[in-house]
Amino acid sequence: MGGLGGGSGGVDLVVDRCGFGGGGGGGLLAWIWWKKCNTGDEKAVGCYDVGVQEVIVMDDVLCALVGIEGRYISIKRRVHTQGNDNYDFSVSFQVDASMDLALQEMAKRIFPLCESFVLIEQFVESRSQFKTGLVNHAFAATLRAFLLDYEAMVAQLEHQFRLGRLSVQGLWFYCQPMMASMQALSTVILKASANNFAGSAVLNLLQSQAKAMAGDNTVRSLLEKMTQCASNAYLGILERWVYEGVIDDPYGEFFIAENKSLQKESLTQDYDAKYWRQRYSLKDGIPSFLENIAGTILTTGKYLNVMRECGHNVQAPTSENSKLMSFGSNHHYLECIKVAYDFASGELLNLIKEKYDLMGKLLSIKHYLLLDQGDFLVHFMDIAREELTKKLDEINEEKLQSLLDLALRSTAAAADPCHEDLTCCVERSSLLKRMATLKDLEVRSFSDSNDMEEPVSITGLETFSLSYKVRWPLSIVISKKALTKYQLIFRFLFRCKHVERQLCGAWQVHQGVRAFNISGTAISRSSLLCRSMLKFISSLLHYLTFEVLEPNWHAMHNRLQTAKSIDEVIQHHDFFLDKCLRECLLLLPELLKKVEKLKSLCLQYAAATQWLISSSIDITKLEEPSDSSSASQKLKQLRLKNPSRVQKAITRDAAVTDSILKFEREFNAELQSLGPILSTSSQAEPYLTHLAQWILGVGSDK
């Protein structure tokens, strides 16, 4: 550069002789001359002739294209940290202010390409780190390959420049095709860096940017290729999930999360068990190309996991065509996922139905908890009467279980291979209070706080229930919640059966005194009341069993035969239970309270019947024989001989008559108040129509 200081004339001479301005071969000589003259003493670029400045600018621009500072082009990098590993990276190029304005303008046109290269290179370096995830690793690798092609292009341009075959205008011409692609990639990178995107967020960003560049086929194709390459690792995770039920996701990028704290044992222990719904769940940030099928993907892996938990082979059949290593407009990946779902669903459904005999278990539960075969229950109620009439604190559950086992072995239930799974339990609250504690059921709220009060002397007859041992994987369908619903229906039926048995006993007592002349006495009135109560409880049981449980059971059974997945089985089973609860009045507290009140009156009457009848027999005997004149004469004779005995008998007869009339009034009042409620409710609940008609008919009977 020392020789250059003698003046600019020499430079002009060289430039003119070499013809540098034309971009011909003489440009090489100018560049060589400038390199030799440049001994290290830097001068402002404006000190040189324009032709030499062009050589200098081209040399610096070629360096800038690969992120290297030149003598007169500098790079300023800025990193703004935003916490949580988020940062905003920016870069800018600046030229010497003394440079020729035309050359400055030309260089600034190329600077966006240089800035894009620096941004991409920095992103590749940062996203190649271990913690950034598989998608970022794949994206960075694709960008690195792209930058290799870009650097090869710059090397070719530099080679042409060294040969003196490249001018500034030529450099700008060759850089333009890469400008749009590099800028599109830098836009993606800036957004990804600013938000610290990983996994599906990167894929969604690439896809959205590709759609935004729909007018530029070249850029759109590049971004689609980037998306495809970046998604390969993600699709690898997806493939293992839908074909093996395994989440191989070391960086937490997959859109399905596993909650290992939820264990399958909770299905039989916890009423609100969340295992089936939340053991595997969808996370935010589902890739846009999988949004419409995310639920199917989740379910497929869940089914495979159930089979693996059962020790069943869960390897779905795969082939080259079933590989999920690409996605595109042909939607082949969607077909592969659908095939995997069909396999997993069919295999699991067949496993539960055939190997674990789901229908057999449900039928067994129907026999016992829905009293489909009640012979064992009759025997059990006979032998366990003494224990069931005790207060809660005095009941021995082990003794009840022994009596239940005896009843099962002594009846037709012994032929059922599942009868050993039946156990008994004693609840700690009445049916009404238990219903009120189950908030997930659509139970209408109680209007009176007194509804929550327990009876003073609650016994095993009000709290006895049956339970059933359910094992994995049947516990997916017959969960603790489902079993609780069965138990609620059983307790209601059991109480009705007990009331019916007690009234039948009272009716037998009435039949036992028919030999006496009971016409027109308290016994005859009591007999009519007993018949009305029996009609009420028998018709209620008939409604519960033949108009609610049986039809709904057969409807569920038919649906289960055509179910395509275990989720459909769960849905049909839950629908059956909810419908039975509702139609059995258990979700209608106002009606349930009325029915329970009527049953309590029936039990009180049945308990008092023995005393009522025995008290009335003496009066009946006084009136024998049936001939009215003879009876009148005998009564007159007794009054003369033993007036105190006659007076006591007449007083006792009046007390008996009053007691019967009181029961009759209370029963009829409750029955009549139930009628309008049923009539009103049947408008919203059509299934109550037949029961309402019968109840209104009972009132007319009286």
| Residue 351 confidence (pLDDT) above 90 | yes
Q: How long, in residues, is the chain?
A: 702
Of 193-207, 245-259, 608-622, where does mean pLDDT reach its minimum? Answer: 608-622
| Residue 33 confidence (pLDDT) above 70 | no
Domain count, the chain: 3
- Domain assignment present for residue 220? The answer is no
Of 176-190, 204-218, 519-533, where does mean pLDDT reach its minimum? Answer: 519-533
55 and 152 fall within a common domain = yes
Phi, psi (rounded to 5 degrees) for 38:
-85, 95
148 and 90 fall within a common domain = yes
Of 251-260, 397-406, 633-642, where does mean pLDDT reach its minimum? Answer: 633-642
Output the average pLDDT for the chain.
Answer: 82
Contacts of 206 (CB under 8 A, 6+ apart): 139, 188, 223, 226, 227, 230
| Residue 649 confidence (pLDDT) above 70 | no
Average pLDDT over residues 362-375: 88
**DSSP code, position 291:** G
Q: Write out pLDDT tens, residues 289-299.
A: 899 999 999 99
246 and 311 fall within a common domain = yes
The whole domain housing 406 covers 359-447+456-701
Angle 421-424-430 (CA atoms, 0-180°, nearest 5)? 140
Of 346-350, 400-404, 504-508, where does mean pLDDT reach its minimum? Answer: 504-508
| Residue 343 confidence (pLDDT) above 70 | yes
34 and 149 fall within a common domain = yes
Average pLDDT over residues 357-367: 93
- Domain assignment present for residue 627? The answer is yes
Q: Which residue has the tokens 């029963």?
A: 667
| Residue 345 confidence (pLDDT) above 90 | yes
Q: Write out pLDDT tens, residues 654-685.
A: 777 788 888 889 998 988 888 788 877 777 77
- Domain assignment present for residue 478? The answer is yes
10 and 96 fall within a common domain = yes
Tokens of 281: 């769940």
566 and 430 fall within a common domain = yes
Average pLDDT over residues 166-176: 91
- Domain assignment present for residue 253? The answer is yes
Of 87-96, 101-110, 299-308, 555-564, where does mean pLDDT reach its minimum? Answer: 87-96
DSSP helix, strand, coil percent of the chain (3-state; round to 5): 70, 5, 25
In sequence order, what are the beta bridge partners of 88?
80
Average pLDDT over residues 370-380: 85
Average pLDDT over residues 504-530: 75
Of 52-56, 352-356, 650-654, where does mean pLDDT reach its minimum? Answer: 650-654
345 and 367 fall within a common domain = no
Residue finishing a domain among 176, 196, 216 = 196
Residue finishing a domain among 355, 390, 413 = 355
What's the sign of the alpha-carbon dihedral 665, 667, 668, 674?
positive
400 and 434 fall within a common domain = yes
Looking at 439-521, list the stretches that DSSP marks H as alpha helix, in order from N- to C-terminal side.
Answer: 460-463, 480-512
- Domain assignment present for residue 299? The answer is yes
| Residue 67 confidence (pLDDT) above 50 | yes
| Residue 451 confidence (pLDDT) above 90 | no
- Ramachandran class of 40: left when φ > 0, alpha when ψ lies in -120 to 50, beta otherwise: left
pLDDT of residue 179: 92
Type of residue numbered 419 = H
pLDDT of residue 13: 27
Instruction: From 545, 588, 572, select the one nearest 366 (Cα to Cα).
Output: 545
114 and 236 fall within a common domain = no
277 and 371 fall within a common domain = no
- Domain assignment present for residue 209? The answer is no
Tokens of 534: 């029996």
The 3-state DSSP class for residue 310 equals coil
pLDDT of residue 679: 77
- Domain assignment present for residue 438? The answer is yes
Of 155-169, 440-454, 532-546, 599-613, where does mean pLDDT reach its minimum? Answer: 440-454
- Domain assignment present for residue 605? The answer is yes
Which of 45-54, 309-318, 500-509 ranks highest by mean pLDDT? 500-509
475 and 386 fall within a common domain = yes
Residue finishing a domain among 318, 338, 355 = 355
Instruction: From 467, 441, 475, select the one nearest 581 (Cα to Cα).
Output: 441
pLDDT of residue 331: 75
- In percent, the amount of the chain with pLDDT more than 90 equals 43
CATH number at residue 475: 1.20.120.1900
pLDDT band at 342 (very low <50, low <70, confident <90, very high): very high
The 3-state DSSP class for residue 472 equals coil
CB 500 within 8 A of CB 371: no
Written as one string, the DSSP assignment of 88-129 is EEEEEEEE-TTS-HHHHHHHHHHHHHHHHHHHHHHHHHHHTS
| Residue 256 confidence (pLDDT) above 90 | yes
pLDDT of residue 120: 93
Q: Write out pLDDT tens, residues 548-596.
A: 999 999 999 999 999 999 999 999 999 999 999 999 989 888 888 999 9
| Residue 700 confidence (pLDDT) above 60 | no
Average pLDDT over residues 456-467: 86
- In percent, the amount of the chain with pLDDT more than 70 equals 80
Query: Could you give the count of Cα atoms lying within 13 Å of 396 in the half-sphere of its Cβ?
Result: 8
pLDDT band at 412 (very low <50, low <70, confident <90, very high): confident
21 and 148 fall within a common domain = yes
**DSSP code, position 81:** E
pLDDT of residue 377: 87
pLDDT of residue 589: 86
Q: Write out pLDDT tens, residues 18-29.
A: 333 344 444 555
